[in-house]
């Protein structure tokens, strides 16, 4: 029997011009979007993929060199 992982975590990046300035994970995408707009007013916010498990999201953060901080 296969155990299905619970997908509760979004992955996202913030881009200013051609440069990605931030990437992270969150359970509340709208809150993170507002926080990003405050921190980078000229930035664009992008969701990366679908919801995923927390473990997979943390692996993605590590592989891409972002911090493991988490909103919400």
pLDDT at residue 69 in the model? 56
For the chain, what is the largest distance between any 2 Cα atoms, rounded to a whole number of angstroms?
48
Specify the pTM.
0.85
Tens-binned pLDDT, residue by residue, of the chain (72 aa): 676 778 899 999 999 999 999 999 999 999 999 999 999 999 999 999 999 999 999 999 999 988 765 444
Distance, CA of 6 to chain centre = 17
pLDDT at residue 66 in the model? 85
CA separation for the pair 67, 50 (Å, rounded):
20
Torsion on CA atoms 20, 21, 26, 29, rounded to nearest 10: -70
Collect all residues with Cβ–Cβ distance below 8 Å to 23 and sequence separation of at least 6. 11, 12, 13, 14, 48, 61, 64, 66
């Amino acid at each position: 029997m296969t155990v299905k992982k619970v997908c509760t975590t979004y992955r996202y990046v913030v881009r200013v011009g051609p440069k990605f300035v931030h990437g992270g994970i969150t359970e509340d995408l709208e809150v993170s979007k507002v926080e990003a707009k405050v921190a980078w007013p000229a930035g664009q916010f992008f969701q990366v993929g679908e919801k995923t498990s927390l473990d997979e999201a943390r692996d993605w953060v590590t592989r891409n060199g972002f911090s493991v901080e988490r909103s919400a």
